Structure 1
Amino acid sequence: MFCLNDSTRFLLYPYPTDMRKSFYSLSGIVTNHMGKNVQDGDAYIFINKNLTGMKILHAEYGGLVIYNMKLERGVFKLPEIDSDDPASSRGIDWSDLIMIVKGLSPSEVKRCSRWEPKK
């Protein structure tokens, strides 16, 4: 358990999600709306309409895991998503996810140039 890291691919579902949904309902969104297989090892991020709740669905050794975060104050600052983009998911980096969880706005952070290995 707790296998999320920078080698995991993160996919943000760009539509508000009911946070009452659990393993099977979220897996249905991944399969039917995002066109992905939940068992591929990717992590799927869902945010509620008020931007105060986040769930991450991830298949790990032994089964599915849901990471759940509910903010007591404030909202999540998400990366900018083009409203005209018909994509059913948006890939985000591990560093972007950490900024979202820590309350930093990805659009306001100045990134310094760094070498990155080819994926």
Structure 2
Amino acid sequence: MFNLHGKLQYFLYPAPVDMRKSFYTLSGVVSSIMKRNVQDGEAFIFVNRNMSIMKVLHLEHGGLVIYHKRLENGTFTLPRFNEDIVSQQITWQELMMIVDNVKPIKRRLKKRQKSI
């Protein structure tokens, strides 16, 4: 069941994350780098270098849950933040704007070579 809502606190990790990471390694990033506690019930947001994949780590009643969103086309647009911070607190509305305000990628088509 989807259990994210406006009453939770959300923390965005500003650096790109390897999306092969799962529960334990993302929890390690939260505790060692972000200096937060996963057990506090907050939600932690991670994106990859290309800004096309997002994971949200959250502790629910049954245990840790990862919400994973992969864009087929476009990129997420993150809010601006100070470069020396290790986590940026954002609101539910800001998270929804990040998810909804996807920027399409403009791709150039390669010219085909004519075969003789």
Please give the TM-score of this superposition, normalised by the length of structure 1: 0.83
What is aligned with 2:88? 90
Q: How far, CA to CA, are the matches of 1:66 and 1:30 in structure 2?
A: 13
Identity of aligned residues (%): 51
Q: Which runs of 5+ in 2 are unaligned?
A: 104-116
In the TM superposition, residue 81 of structure 1 has moved relative to its aligned partner by 1.7
Which structure 2 residues correspond to residues 1-119 of structure 1 after superposition, within 5 A? 1-83=1-83, 86-103=84-101
CA deviations over 1:59-116 (Å, ceiling 9, x no partner): 0001000000000000001001222xx22100001001001111268xxxxxxxxxxx
Q: Which runs of 5+ in 1 are unaligned?
A: 106-119
Q: Highest CA radius of gyration, 1 or 2?
A: 2
CA RMSD for the aligned pairs? 1.2
Please give the TM-score of this superposition, normalised by the length of structure 2: 0.85
Q: Secondary structure at the match of 1:101?
A: helix
